[in-house]
Amino acid sequence: MATIWSGRLSKMDVSADDDGRVDYRLVDRDPDGTAGVELALNDRIGRELRLSYEGTIECTACGRKTKKSFNQGFCWPCSQSRPEADICIVKPELCHFHQAGNPCRDDDFAHRVCFKPHVLYVSLTSGVKVGITRRVNVPSRWIDQGAVRAIPVAVLPDRFTVGKLEKRLAEDYADKTHWMRMLKESDPEGDPRGAADEIAARLEGEGVEGVLPAAERVERRFVYPVRTHPVKVKSFNLDKAPEAGGVLEGIKGQYLIFDTAVINLRKYTGYRVTIEGAA
Q: Express each pLDDT in 110-129 by its tens digit.
A: 999 999 999 999 999 999 99
- End-to-end CA separation in angstroms for the chain: 7
Task: pLDDT tens for the chain, 279 residues: list them.
Answer: 899 999 999 999 999 999 999 999 999 988 777 778 899 999 999 999 999 999 999 999 999 999 999 988 999 999 999 999 999 999 999 999 999 899 999 999 999 999 999 999 999 999 999 999 999 999 999 999 999 999 999 999 999 999 999 999 999 999 999 999 999 998 899 999 999 999 999 999 999 999 999 999 999 999 999 999 999 999 999 999 999 999 999 999 999 999 999 999 999 999 999 999 987
Q: How high is the pLDDT of residue 55?
A: 96
Q: How high is the pLDDT of residue 72?
A: 85
Q: Which of 41, 35, 86 is nearest to 254 (CA)?
A: 41
CA distance 252 to 187: 13
The pLDDT tens digits for 15-57 are 999 999 999 999 998 877 777 889 999 999 999 999 999 999 9
| Contact status, residue 57 vs residue 70, Cβ threshold 8 Å | no
Which three-class secondary structure state does DSSP give residue 231? coil
The full set of domain ranges for the chain reads 2-277
| Contact status, residue 95 vs residue 88, Cβ threshold 8 Å | yes
Which three-class secondary structure state does DSSP give residue 76? helix
**Over pLDDT 70: what percentage of the chain?**
100
Cis peptide before 242 (omega within 30 of 0): no
CA distance 12 to 26: 5
Q: How high is the pLDDT of residue 158?
A: 97
